[in-house]
Amino acid sequence: MVGFGKPHANGGFSLLELLVVIAILGILMRMAWLPFREMMANQRLRSVTSDVVADFALARVEAIKRSSRVGVARTTAAWVGGWVVFDDVDRDGTFDPETDGDGLCEAGEECVLASRPALDATVNVCSADTAFDVLTFGADGAVRAYNAGALLAAIPRITVSSTFTSAGVPARQLEFSPTGRVAVVSAGVAACP
């Protein structure tokens, strides 16, 4: 027997219930946004710091292997514009790209061993001490710094920082030992301006 009575309720959500759930989800997502941004900024910073350290290590190893001078030079007015690792054939602390334009690394030309493109706009690389545009490593692994071809008395420290300022995203500083090895310090480092 079929009963005729009240129709069954649909069992869906009311508009008010749906708005409350959306508001709660919005609050939870807002709370997760800052840690997510910090995590992404830290990852970019780690990646760039790793690239810089790897390129300095490459230059040092190549200099020792070749018994010559190998340098790392920025390709624009700032380090964030990218850099190249090159064989400093004339040992003058400046990168002189090949002049004949054939793209081949021939005797007497300063060859590019590795290059890095411009960095993401959220990361900055600067000198913590003195402005410099080239670091070179000798056959003994020792490092020298140059600015516009002039040899600097001290080796500058390099700072890698994020444009996202937060205590959870500390800047990192690269310091060179007298033998040319690089150490990364992250405690108490001021960010790039």
| Tens of pLDDT, residues 42-54 | 888 889 999 999 9
pLDDT digits (tens, 9 = 90+) for 74-111: 988 888 899 999 998 888 888 887 777 676 777 777 88
The reply to whether 6 falls in a domain is: no
DSSP 18-78: HHHHHHHHHHHHHHHHHHHHHHHHHHHHHHHHHHHHHHHHHHHHHHHHHTS-EEEEESSSS
The reply to whether 108 falls in a domain is: yes
The reply to whether 2 falls in a domain is: no
For residue 30, give the CATH number of its domain.
3.55.40.10
The reply to whether 192 falls in a domain is: no
The reply to whether 116 falls in a domain is: yes
Domain that holds residue 25: 18-185
The reply to whether 174 falls in a domain is: yes
Number of domains the chain is built from: 1
The answer to pTM > 0.75 is yes
